[in-house]
C-alpha cells in the first residue's frame, strides 16, 4: 500500500496542506474547535486567527492546543519574528476558512475593510477562501448580508449555505453552523477538485436491494452502499450534478449530492430509468437481488403453520441490461461482483450489457467487496483494454473511477 493510500485509510486527506482558520464572534465559535481538531487529525497544518469578539466566546488557548500553534488575535502584539504576521499567514495558506463567519466579517470582506488581523490576512491571501456563515435567520436573510454574500461569490470565494434548525437565539431557521464533515467535504473539493465533470449529470445506484417476504422479513445482501457513496462523493468533488439512487439509509448523504431512497429492484429500476434519458453518466454500483418473492405475505409468516417453508421466487429485471439497451450517448458503467474467473465474467457482462466500462471486484478476497472500507478492482473498457489496481480505500477507488470516466467522456 503506498503512502497516499495509507493517508486516505487514516483519513489524513489534508496531509501537507496549510489551512488558516479565521474564527469570528458568533456563538458557533465553539463548533470551530471541532473543525480545527478534525483538520489537524486529517494531516493539515492549521493556524488560527481569532477576532477580539471571538475571544469573548471561546479562549484562544483552546485553538492553540487544538492547532498546535500560537493563535493570532492582535495585529500589534507578540511580534516574534521579522516577517509581517498577517502576510506570513496569508502566504502560507493553501486554504483559508472563515468559520463561523458573522454578518460583520462578511460585510467587511465584501466592502474591502481590513481593520484587524483576520480581515487583513484574508484580504492579503491568494489562497482560496471558504466562508462558513452562521447567524440568526433574520440576519442571514437580510438583503444587505445576502448582497455581501453575492459579492464574495462574485470575487471567487466559496460561501457555504448554513443549515436549518434550532439556533442559539432560541428560534428555528436557516443559520446553523454546518456539520464538520460537510465543511471538510467543501474544503476537500476546493483543495483537490479539478472540475473534471463540470456540467455533467451523473446517476449512481448504491447499496443492496431488499425484496420483502412478509412485513418483517426480506431477501437482501451484504452491500453497505460504501462503494456507491464513495463514487458519489468523488463525482460531487469534480463538480458533477450527482443523484444517488440509494438502497440504504445508513450512510450520511455526501455534500452536494441529491439522494433518492429505494428498497427493491423494481423501485430501483423505476428511479434509474426515470433519470437515465437526461443523464451523461450512469453507474450501477448497487447489488441487485436477481430474484424476488412471487407473492409477498401480507402478515408475518408463523412457524407454527408449517414444518417447512418453500418460498417461490421469480426473476427481477436486469436494470443495467435495460439501460444498456436504451442508451443514446450516455456513458454506462457496471460493476461485477465475482468470486472466480473475475476478468472473464467481467468481460462477458461488459459486452452483454452494452457497457462503456465495468469495475470488476473479486468479493472473495480479503479487503474487497461487501461492507469493508477497501476494494480491489480491475477496470475493463469497451475497447477491450483493462487496468488492474492494488488494494485501496473505496474513497480512493471512487476517485479513480471518476477520473477514468472523465478521461473517456
Ligand atoms: O456496497 P459495498 O458494501 O461497498 O459493496 C460494494 C459492492 C461489492 C456491492 C460493489 O463493489 C459491487 O460489486 N456492486 C455490484 C454488485 C452486483 O450486483 O454485481 P453483479 O455481478 O451481480 O451484477 C452486475 C451488474 O449488473 C452490477 O452493476 C449490478 O448493479 C447490475 N445488476 C445486477 C442484477 C440485476 N437484476 N440488475 C442489475 O442492474
Encode pLDDT of 273-286 as tens digits.
Answer: 999 999 999 999 99
Strand partners, 293: 313
CA 171 – CA 112 distance, rounded (Å): 32
Count CB atoms within 10 A of the CB of residue 43: 16
CB of residue 110 inside a 6 A radius of ligand 1: no
Whole-number Å distance, alpha carbon 13 to ligand 1 midpoint, is 28
pLDDT for res 13: 85
Q: Classify residue 211 as left (phi > 0), alpha (psi -120 to 50) or beta.
A: beta
- Residues 137, 167 contacting (CB under 8 angstroms): yes
pLDDT for res 83: 59
CB of residue 225 inside a 6 A radius of ligand 1: yes
Residue whose CA is at the smallest distance from ligand 1 atom 8: 369
Q: Classify residue 132 as left (phi > 0), alpha (psi -120 to 50) or beta.
A: beta
Q: Which long-range contacts (CB under 8 A, 24 or more apart) does 139-144 make?
A: 139/103, 139/175, 140/103, 140/174, 140/175, 141/174, 142/103, 144/107
CA-nearest of 172, 175, 181 to 163 is: 175
CA 17 – CA 28 distance, rounded (Å): 25
Residue whose CA is at the smallest distance from ligand 1 atom 35: 318
* SS3 annotation, 188-234: HHHHHCCCCCCCCEEEEEECECCEEEECCEEECCCCCCHHHHHHHHH
Half-sphere exposure of 307 (CA within 13 A, CB side): 0
Domains of the chain: 14-192 (3.40.50.1950), 201-291+314-408 (3.40.50.10300)
Grid cell, residue 206, equals: 448504491
The backbone torsions φ and ψ at residue 202, rounded to the nearest 5 degrees and listed phi first, read -125, 135
- Residues 39, 19 contacting (CB under 8 angstroms): yes
- Residues 357, 282 contacting (CB under 8 angstroms): no
pLDDT for res 5: 53
Encode pLDDT of 75-98 as tens digits.
Answer: 776 555 545 666 889 999 999 999
Whole-number Å distance, alpha carbon 362 to ligand 1 midpoint, is 12
Secondary structure (3-state) at 169: coil
Encode pLDDT of 4-38 as tens digits.
Answer: 555 555 578 899 999 999 999 999 999 999 999 99
Active site residue 169: yes
- Ligand 1 atom nearest the C-alpha of 375 is 11
How far lies 45's CA from each of 11, 179, 316, in Å?
Answer: 15, 21, 52
**Percentage of residues of the chain with pLDDT beyond 90:** 86
Q: What is the pTM of this model?
A: 0.84
Residue among 286, 347, 373, 377 to mutate when testing ligand 1 (max atoms within 8 A of CB): 286
Whole-number Å distance, alpha carbon 290 to ligand 1 midpoint, is 10
The residue ranking higher by pLDDT, 172 or 158, is 158
Q: Of the listed 169, 247, 279, 306, which one is catalytic?
A: 169
What is the mean pLDDT of the segment spanning 191-212?
Answer: 96
Encode pLDDT of 314-350 as tens digits.
Answer: 999 999 999 999 999 999 999 999 999 999 999 999 9
| Position 288 pLDDT exceeds 80 | yes
Amino acid at each position: 500500500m503506498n503512502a497516499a493510500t495509507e493517508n486516505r485509510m487514516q483519513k489524513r486527506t489534508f496531509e501537507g496542506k496549510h489551512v488558516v482558520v479565521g474564527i469570528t464572534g458568533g456563538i458557533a465559535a465553539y463548533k470551530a474547535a471541532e473543525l480545527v481538531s478534525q483538520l489537524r487529525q486529517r494531516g493539515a497544518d492549521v493556524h488560527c486567527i481569532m477576532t477580539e469578539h471571538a475571544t469573548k466566546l471561546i479562549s484562544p488557548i483552546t485553538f492553540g492546543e487544538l492547532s498546535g500553534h500560537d493563535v493570532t488575535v492582535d495585529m500589534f502584539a507578540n511580534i516574534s519574528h521579522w516577517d509581517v504576521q498577517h502576510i506570513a499567514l496569508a502566504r502560507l495558506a493553501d486554504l483559508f476558512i472563515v468559520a463561523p463567519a458573522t454578518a460583520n466579517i462578511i460585510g467587511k470582506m465584501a466592502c474591502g475593510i481590513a481593520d484587524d488581523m483576520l480581515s487583513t490576512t484574508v484580504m492579503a491571501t491568494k489562497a482560496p477562501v471558504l466562508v462558513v456563515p452562521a447567524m440568526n435567520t433574520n440576519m442571514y436573510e437580510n438583503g444587505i448580508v445576502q448582497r455581501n454574500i453575492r459579492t464574495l461569490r462574485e470575487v471567487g470565494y466559496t460561501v457555504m449555505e448554513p443549515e436549518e434548525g434550532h439556533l442559539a437565539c432560541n428560534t428555528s431557521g436557516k443559520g446553523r453552523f454546518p456539520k464538520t464533515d460537510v465543511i471538510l467535504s467543501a474544503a476537500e473539493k476546493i483543495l483537490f477538485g479539478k472540475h473534471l465533470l463540470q456540467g455533467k449529470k451523473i446517476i449512481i445506484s448504491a447499496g443492496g436491494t431488499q425484496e420483502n417476504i412478509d412485513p418483517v422479513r426480506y431477501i437482501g445482501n451484504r452491500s453497505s452502499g460504501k462503494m456507491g457513496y464513495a463514487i458519489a462523493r468523488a463525482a460531487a468533488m469534480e463538480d458533477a450534478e450527482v443523484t444517488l439512487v440509494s438502497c440504504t439509509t445508513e450512510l450520511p448523504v455526501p455534500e452536494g449530492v441529491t439522494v433518492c431512497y429505494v428498497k427493491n429492484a423494481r423501485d430501483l429500476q423505476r428511479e434509474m430509468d426515470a433519470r437515465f434519458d437526461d443523464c451523461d453518466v450512469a453507474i450501477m454500483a448497487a447489488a441487485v437481488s436477481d430474484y424476488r418473492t412471487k407473492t409477498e405475505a401480507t402478515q408475518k409468516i408463523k412457524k407454527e403453520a408449517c414444518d417447512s417453508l418453500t418460498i417461490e421466487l421469480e426473476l427481477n429485471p436486469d436494470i443495467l441490461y435495460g439501460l444498456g439497451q436504451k442508451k443514446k450517448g450516455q456513458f454506462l458503467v457496471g460493476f461485477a461482483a465475482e468470486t472466480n474467473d473475475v476478468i472473464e465474467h467481467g468481460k462477458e457482462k461488459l459486452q452483454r450489457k452494452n457497457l462503456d466500462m465495468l469495475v470488476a471486484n473479486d468479493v472473495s478476497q480479503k479487503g474487497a467487496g461487501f461492507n469493508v472500507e477497501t476494494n480491489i478492482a480491475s477496470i475493463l473498457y469497451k475497447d477491450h483494454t483493462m487496468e488492474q489496481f492494488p488494494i485501496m480505500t473505496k474513497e480512493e477507488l471512487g476517485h479513480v473511477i471518476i477520473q477514468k470516466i472523465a478521461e473517456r467522456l
